[in-house]
């Protein structure tokens, strides 16, 4: 007899908006995630950056901003740190994608 699988109703929210850094896209995404967690939803975060560099640590901080290092040692965008603090969970390198990797 086959087991019946529970249907998972996954929803996605995309926060996009130009290439200009520092306008609040990351903090907006983290805030929406925090609200959803407060309402009982399971939330994950993925950051996709168009950098040719492999990670944010190889970029000039004046062009990009601060670098956040994840628990597994990946040098990421500072938004990943906001996601971790707002969602109260570790975000790993699999959740940070750049053009260079």
Q: How many of the other CB atoms lie within 10 Å of CB of 71?
A: 10
More reliable by pLDDT, 4 or 56: 4
pLDDT at 1 over 70: no
Task: Provide CB contacts within 8 A for 38, sequence distance 6+.
Answer: none
pLDDT at 22: 76
* For the ranges 13-17, 32-36, 90-94, the one whose mean pLDDT is highest: 32-36
pTM, two decimal places: 0.79
Question: What are 16-75's pLDDT values in tens digits?
Answer: 887 777 788 999 999 999 999 999 999 999 988 877 766 666 666 666 678 889 999 988
pLDDT at 99 over 90: no
Dihedral sign for Cα atoms in the order 40, 5, 93, 73: positive
CA distance 42 to 30: 13
């Amino acid at each position: 007899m086959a087991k019946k699988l529970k249907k998972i109703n996954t929803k996605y929210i995309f926060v996009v908006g130009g290439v200009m850094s520092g306008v609040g896209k990351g903090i907006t995404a983290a805030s929406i995630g925090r609200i959803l967690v407060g309402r009982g939803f399971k939330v994950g975060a993925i950051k996709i950056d168009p950098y040719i560099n492999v990670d944010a640590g190889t970029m000039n901080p004046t062009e990009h901003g601060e670098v956040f290092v994840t628990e597994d040692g990946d040098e990421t965008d500072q938004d990943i740190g906001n996601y971790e603090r707002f969602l109260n969970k570790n975000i790993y390198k699999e959740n940070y994608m750049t053009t260079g990797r």
